[in-house]
Amino acid sequence: MKPKVYLETTIVSYLTARPSRDLIIAAHQELTREWWENKRGDFDLYASQLVVQEAGAGDAEAAKNRLEILDPLPLLVVTPAAIALARALTTRGPLPKKAGADALHIAVAAVHGIDYLLTWNCKHIANAQMYTAVAAKCRAAGFEPPVICTPEELLGR
């Protein structure tokens, strides 16, 4: 059985975006493409309706490209347990209240037993300073947290 990966919205955004002039973002885009081309087959990929909703926003052509990537993926249900866990993650930390959608990505992955949450959102999701508290909240709710990482970390180099 392959490990399960939840693709957060930044992954499909970086995968389909025009090359950035910002060197850091351009490097993230290239690493995302490299992971997609060389490593995605090593994993079972999942998204959620939240990812579809976020990916469908903005420029119509860009949204179309993002949604095409997501179309074949199974969508994990945003369950009442995931909503409750997301609330726990934003009530008295570790995530701020304004990061409700970010908390919901983590919660959906945890509730569904996903092994890895793949993201470039390093402010509220792939944040090493928050991870211990995020993991503790997940475990307190009865769920094992996913390993939260970037494509660079999941390339296995």
Domain hosting residue 111, numbered range: 4-154
φ, ψ (nearest 5 deg) of residue 113: 70, 35
Which amino acid belongs to residue 30? E
What angle do helix axes 128-140 and 100-111 make, rounded to 10 degrees?
50
Residues 70-117 have pLDDT tens digits of: 999 999 999 999 999 999 999 987 999 999 999 999 999 999 999 999
Residue 101 CA to residue 117 CA, distance in Å, equals 14
Q: In this model, does residue 119 exceed pLDDT 80?
A: yes
Structurally, the chain folds into a number of domains equal to 1
Going edge to edge, which strands form the sheet with 75-76?
75-76, 44-48, 4-7, 116-118, 147-149
Residues 29-63 have pLDDT tens digits of: 999 999 999 999 999 999 999 999 999 999 999 99
Give the CATH number for residue 10: 3.40.50.1010
